Amino acid sequence: MQLALLVGITRVMSKSTATLTGFGAVLLWSLLALLTVRTAPVPPFLLNALTFAIGGAVGLVWVSLSGGFGQLARIPLHVYLFGTAGLFGYHLLYFTALRMAPAAEAGLIAYLWPLLIVLFSGLLPGEKLLAGHLLGGLIAFAGAALIVTSGGTGFNAENLPGYGLAFLCALTWATYSVVSRSFGTIPTASVTIFCLATAILSIVAHLTLEETVWPATTSGWLAVIGLGLGPVGLAFFIWDVGVKRGDIQVLGVASYAAPLLSTFALVLGGVATLTWTLGLAAVLIAGGAGLAATASARRRPVSASKDA
One DSSP character per residue, 187-210 reads -TTHHHHHHHHHHHHHHHHHHHH-
Per-residue pLDDT at 54: 96
Whether 17 is covered by a domain: the verdict is: no
d(CA 232, CA 251): 19
Whether 16 is covered by a domain: the verdict is: no
d(CA 204, CA 68): 29
Least confident of 58-67, 85-94, 150-159, 267-276: 150-159
pLDDT band of 10, cuts 50, 70, 90: low
pLDDT for 228 beyond 50: yes
The structure's pTM equals: 0.80
Least confident of 236-245, 282-291, 297-306: 297-306
Per-residue pLDDT at 6: 54
Whether 154 is covered by a domain: the verdict is: yes
Contacts of 210 (CB under 8 A, 6+ apart): 43, 44, 45, 46
Q: Is 285 helix (H, G, I), strand (E, B) or coil?
A: helix
pLDDT for 303 beyond 70: no
Please state the domain count of the chain: 1
Cα 128 to chain center, whole Å? Answer: 25
Are 291 and 136 in contact, with CB atoms under 8 Å apart?
yes
Whether 7 is covered by a domain: the verdict is: no
- Longest CA–CA separation in the chain, Å: 58
- Output the CA–CA distances (angstroms, integers) from residue 64 to 58, 70, 81, in the order listed: 10, 10, 22
Whether 307 is covered by a domain: the verdict is: no
Q: What digits encode the pLDDT tens for the residues 233-267? A: 899 888 877 877 777 656 766 777 788 888 888 88
d(CA 195, CA 290): 30
Q: Which residue has the higher pLDDT, 190 or 153?
A: 190
CA end-to-end span of the chain:
26
Whether 172 is covered by a domain: the verdict is: yes
Per-residue pLDDT at 222: 97
Per-residue pLDDT at 145: 81
Torsion-angle region of residue 76: left (phi > 0), alpha (psi -120 to 50) or beta?
A: beta
Q: What are phi and psi of 61, to 5 degrees?
A: -65, -45
> Average pLDDT in the 6-33 region?
77
Q: Which helix (H) or strand (E) holds 169?
A: helix 160-179
Per-residue pLDDT at 196: 95
State the residue range of the domain holding 37: 22-299
Whether 2 is covered by a domain: the verdict is: no
- Identify how many contiguous H helices and E strands the chain contains and give both numbers: 16, 0
Q: Is 42 helix (H, G, I), strand (E, B) or coil?
A: coil
> Average pLDDT in the 264-292 region?
83
Whether 14 is covered by a domain: the verdict is: no
